[in-house]
Structure 1
């Protein structure tokens, strides 16, 4: 499972040139995607009226199976969206993210904009160099930090709009695999003199991954 680290997400969101209309749109759109875990179909289907801000701010969307859900928005995303909504004039039924001519962005358009922004982010985050990142990776990049922070998988499933926790189990397995790989890099391959088991400090670090 591919997901972006916190450093990579920061590089991605700091890349768009907010002096340009497209940069402001892309920054708001990518921040919303990576902080809420919306599917790309949810993202492109959003209208202006689907983002009530202020107290209890959330994004309302209709996911798979025509199930409706509301995903809370943190303060940073709220600020970006408030600025974008002020700039993106129109009725509540108008698409939230659109082209300059007002047409709703397609799935392919979102993927293309993400590809452009990943190339820019790679200039400050070398781990992204040459990496192909599709929109679903942003969904994974929302889920993994929640899991690593100790959020219950049931809560993550509700946030992502999963039909059940079985879909969320993939993140648990991915997280365990990462821990095992990190532990393997610190463990001795043979019992040679001078090689030691991981220290308590190393093990504590692994627990924070």
Structure 2
């Protein structure tokens, strides 16, 4: 249709304008969405016998998306959680397209109506006091890397931060004065401050003195910085 952006154009704009510029999505989110569409385009090429550059938006209809999700589970043996993550990326794209290509509103509505798959959520296990003590005692604190690992584990146990959040911490995210806390930009770019116990604060205070760290340097660097 004259004046309507093509599917390749819409997909490119979705990544460069919507995700990167407008939403400022994290690198992890962009990589996950990229992988979703790489798999979807491979599936569409096999199903429709057309290379991705020649696909039109109307080719990516609800039946094709459902068959794609089914293949992920049956052929690639992915979990329902992973299937739902792929569907989330596709839904996000079609919500963007709804404003860019309103002539396809009915098709877009049908894709957005595809439901996520229900699955049982397992309880998150936790460590016993003895297991925590064993973890904290494991690093050799006579070495620099051992002291780093000990502090990292202690902070993880006390705050419950994700691994990506811990490794992404910088010196400037740590506040050891009154109301000691650590500032984190977590999943979904949500900022939160987690208070530190007296013991954790003391261990961190000793750690930041070796070696000298600048505000924009990682709190837990590797051997090369």
Which TM-score band applies after superposition, normalised by the shorter structure? Answer: 0.3 to 0.5
Report the TM-score when normalising by structure 2. 0.44
Report the TM-score when normalising by structure 1. 0.47
| Higher RCO by CA contacts (8 Å cutoff, separation 6 or greater) | 1
